[in-house]
Amino acid sequence: MRRLAVLVALVSVVAQAQTLCVVTGDVTYLFPADQTGDMAYAGGTALSVLGKTFDVGDITKAYVDGTAVSDNRVAVVFDGQKATVSVAGNVAQYVTVTVSGAHVTIEQTNTGDVDGDEITYVLSGTSTDGELTLAGAYKCTVQLAGVTLTNPSGAAINITNKKRIQLSVKSGTENMLADGAGGSQKACLYSKGQLQLQGGGTLTVKAATAHAIKSGDYITVKNLTLNVTSAVGDGLSCNGYFQMKSGTVTISGTGDDGIQCDLDGESATGETDGHEDEDSGNIYIEDGTLTINVTSAATKGIKAGGDLIISGGTVNVTTSGNGTYDSTERDAKGSAGLSADGNMTISGGTLTLKNTGTGGKCIKADGLLTIADGIVSATNTASQYRYSSSYTASAKAIKAGTRTQTGGSGRNVTYSYSGGIVVTGGTVTASASSHEAIESKSTITVSGGTVYATSSDDAINSASDFTISGGFVMGNSTGNDGLDANGNCYIKGGTVFAVAARSPEVGIDANTEGGYKLYVTGGTIVAIGGLESGSSLTQTCYSTSSYSKGTWYGLYNGNTLALAFKVPSNNSMGTPLVVSTSGTTTLKSNITTSGGTSIWNGFGLTGGTASGGTSVSLSSYTGGNGGGGGWGPGGGGHWAPPMRDGDGGNAPPMRDGEGLYAPPVRR
Amino acid sequence: MKKRILCMMLAALGVMLTVQADDYPYLAFQTTDGTVKAVSVTSLTLTFSNGALTATNADGTCSFALADLGKMYFTAEPTAVQPLPARGDGVEVFSVTGVSMGHFESLQAAEAQMPCGIYVVKSGSETLKLMKR
């Protein structure tokens, strides 16, 4: 064993190759002896080594030792008020370094790989007055290997290179970047080119002038732990697209949005496959843990100028900034946890979104919101932001779609609709204290998944048609309709539990007064407060005028338990309780449930069994608890409800006076 | 077990020898007249001052006028080669197997025209073994 140790030591000694170290001020160029070849002198003033020409007058000294050299590597070590730089010989000719105190400027001139690889700049050490400015025209890597760097007069890292930059945070290292206030820098960490944030270490960024991290092109995040603890502007800001593949990102203390992505050019390239040449303004969250807490007025947790696509990961966004009046756009604006100027697609992940700022929203998509999978929890405890009677912003949990006035005026006004909400899977829980929990400015279509919405306003509202053909949908309103369509409402399938607050509100509402109708052609339905008058009930419905709060009921289709549900204990709930299944419908109260999966915040059970209970006497129900009106056939149910405000034939279809539109005509 | 350790040692020795083949314990300086002087790189420091390069190591110090320096290179050869004396009849170059490679006016002319390799150079009554890198 002793011989082996001696041998290993011998190998170590022999393996220590020679390196010529050429020192010019604070920069040392490291030339491995086996790479140098002939080192030419010229004119008594110049020495050229591996293509790097030195003026011998600039050489502080040169020496030969056993320094190990990693090809393509440039190491920058910050040490208080100074910095030293070492440059691997094989890239020396492509790197010009200027050091002033701890302010390091590097210009890189290669236009292709060097010896099959790009140049890597490795930063370490500490300085309270230092920076790295990096210029060039070819991709490179900046590795943070335990650096704590503050630049009181500019960006801590300023990369003017327009090419792809890998910013790699070395595994096991803690790194911190900070800048000073009142500067002209765009960010504490700025990259003009594409910025790939990666590595297994931790990076903390504090920005006192503008954004924490800004790229003039796209940003991708992979593996690293990134903490933005303060910023005057956004936490992360980029153009083109943003992609989070994995890692842990925590953003707080920002003056503006958590993450913002805009178009780089005037218009989208239309390229998204593989993200090659993509300029979309899209944000992609694929995996990892993203936690954002924004507190400033009308700020967004995640703001996509294009689409927002979430396919995995854990996303926690809290917004608490109040609404504000945007004098540029002449509109009232609120905060939003997730915001997309285009479409929003959620196909995976666990999303927890909370808003407490007036006029804020947990989710806001101008285009189509599609939820295909994942778990979405959106809680909004805020009230309306009111700048004036004409400029307000409502605090909703989920809002999507756009309604645009196309003509007319008064009750003859006409609209076009775009976007909307489509749910095909996943679990959605939405809660709003003051306004609709879920609102579409266009259509809502549910064909799968589980949706639970509760609000003091309509639990779920669509400006246009509302269609349910599958899934489990519960709208629990403590002050208005359970489900409300300002167009037609189609119940074709699925399982629906709708709870209205009191007459004249109804469990399931359609805009009868506007010439629309509720169509029930299938599904398993429970509607507390009944159905809109004038409904077309192709599937037989039944009702009972009495029910008990907090009691479990079993709704049967023949002998099969179609749904076990618990009646909420809301202060006020409408009557009757209407039920319907696709077959022979019976109802039992006070059942005992076991097994299965709890849904709708505990108000429903699927896949379980029920035992015991007492049969409830049901009456045939032909619909008609809503106000009816000039367009429809009017009421006809068991109850003769009073007319609601604005429910008459002259009632305009317009509602929800957010923004420039008129204030709500009715609730 | 001992056999296995011995095999490992031999394998490691092979690695060692391979690494050693890339070892360059000398830095050679060649002046424009072809003079070559090699110095040990152990504790070697080079300084540039007043038009001169000064090389300092454990063996001592030597200086070169920068204006006279043509190049320097790392070498495994410790030999300091002096220029062949000027001869009116030039030099003759042979391969290491003794085949004549040609007759040249000077050593510099031979160096310029010969490919890299090891040669035997004869000038008058003097013969030297040289390597072109």
**B13 phi and psi, to 5 degrees?**
-60, -40
Question: In chain B, whose CA is at the least distance from the CA of A36?
Answer: B73
Q: How far apart are the C-alpha atoms of A105 and A159, rounded to whole Å?
A: 10
SS3 category, A253: coil
A181 touches chain B (CB under 8 A): no
Instruction: Round the average pLDDT of chain A to a whole number and report it.
Output: 91
Mean pLDDT of B52-78: 93
Interface test with A, best of B5, B74, B77, B132 (most A CBs within 10 A): B74
Question: In chain B, whose CA is at the least distance from the CA of A66?
Answer: B42
- 8 A C-beta contact, residue A397 and residue A432: yes
> How sure is the predictor about B5, in pLDDT bands with cuts at 50, 70 and 90?
low
Residue B80 has pLDDT above 80, yes or no: no
Question: Locate tokens 């010896």: which residue?
Answer: A115
Give me the residue from B8, B20, B65 closest to A14, CB to CB.
Answer: B20
- 8 A C-beta contact, residue A279 and residue A320: no
Query: Chain A partners of B13 at a C-beta cutoff of 8 Å?
Result: 7
Which pLDDT tens digit goes with each residue over A461-474? 999 999 999 999 99
Task: Give the CA dihedral A118, A119, A124, A129, nearest 10 degrees.
Answer: -120
Give A136's Cβ-side CA count (13 Å radius): 31
Q: How far apart are the C-alpha atoms of A497 and A506, rounded to whole Å?
A: 12
Q: What is the pLDDT of residue A655?
A: 34
Which pLDDT tens digit goes with each residue over A482-527? 999 999 999 999 999 999 998 899 999 999 988 999 999 999 999 9
Minimum mean pLDDT range among A126-135, A517-526, B75-84, B94-103: B75-84
Q: What is the pLDDT of residue A505?
A: 93
Q: What is the pLDDT of residue A305?
A: 97
A68 touches chain B (CB under 8 A): no
Give A478's Cβ-side CA count (13 Å radius): 13
Residue A128 has pLDDT above 50, yes or no: yes
Question: Locate tokens 């650096």: which residue?
Answer: A147
Query: Chain B partners of A43 at a C-beta cutoff of 8 Å?
Result: 67
Residue A161 has pLDDT above 60, yes or no: yes
Q: Do A18 and B70 touch (CB under 8 A)?
A: no
How far away is chain A from the Cα of B60, in angstroms, using its nearest Cα?
Answer: 15
B127 touches chain A (CB under 8 A): no
Which pLDDT tens digit goes with each residue over A424-453? 999 999 999 999 999 999 999 999 999 999
Q: How far apart are the C-alpha atoms of A158 and A106, rounded to whole Å?
A: 11
> How sure is the predictor about B123, in pLDDT bands with cuts at 50, 70 and 90?
confident
Q: How much of chain A, in percent, has pLDDT values that exceed 70?
A: 91
The yes/no answer to whether this complex scores an ipTM above 0.85 is no
Q: Do B69 and A44 touch (CB under 8 A)?
A: yes
Mean pLDDT of A23-27: 97
Q: What is the pLDDT of residue A143?
A: 98
Q: How much of chain A, in percent, has pLDDT values that exceed 90?
A: 86
pTM: 0.85
Three-state secondary structure readout of A463-528: CCCEEEEEEEEEEEECCCCCEEECCCEEECCCEEEEECCCCCCCCEECCHHHCCCEEECCCEEEEE
Three-state secondary structure readout of chain B: CHHHHHHHHHHHHHHHHHHHHCCCCEEEEEECCCCEEEEECCCCEEEEECCEEEEEECCEEEEEEHHHEEEEEEECCCCCCCCCCCCCCCEEEEECCCCEEEEECCHHHHHHHCCCEEEEEEECCEEEEEEEC
Mean pLDDT of A410-419: 90
B44 touches chain A (CB under 8 A): yes
Query: Chain B partners of A8 at a C-beta cutoff of 8 Å?
Result: 12
Which pLDDT tens digit goes with each residue over A531-554? 999 999 999 999 999 999 999 999
Which pLDDT tens digit goes with each residue over A610-642? 999 999 999 999 877 664 333 322 333 333 333
Which pLDDT tens digit goes with each residue over A224-263? 999 999 999 999 999 999 999 999 999 999 999 999 999 9
Domains, chain B, ordered by start: 24-80 (2.30.30), 91-132 (no CATH)
> How sure is the predictor about B106, in pLDDT bands with cuts at 50, 70 and 90?
confident
> How sure is the predictor about A411, in pLDDT bands with cuts at 50, 70 and 90?
confident
Q: What is the pLDDT of residue B126?
A: 63
How far away is chain A from the Cα of B12, in angstroms, using its nearest Cα?
Answer: 7
> How sure is the predictor about B88, in pLDDT bands with cuts at 50, 70 and 90?
low
Q: Do B74 and A45 touch (CB under 8 A)?
A: no
Q: What is the pLDDT of residue B104?
A: 83
Q: How far apart are the C-alpha atoms of A270 and A282, rounded to whole Å?
A: 11
Residue B44 has pLDDT above 70, yes or no: yes
A59 touches chain B (CB under 8 A): yes
Type of residue found at A106? I
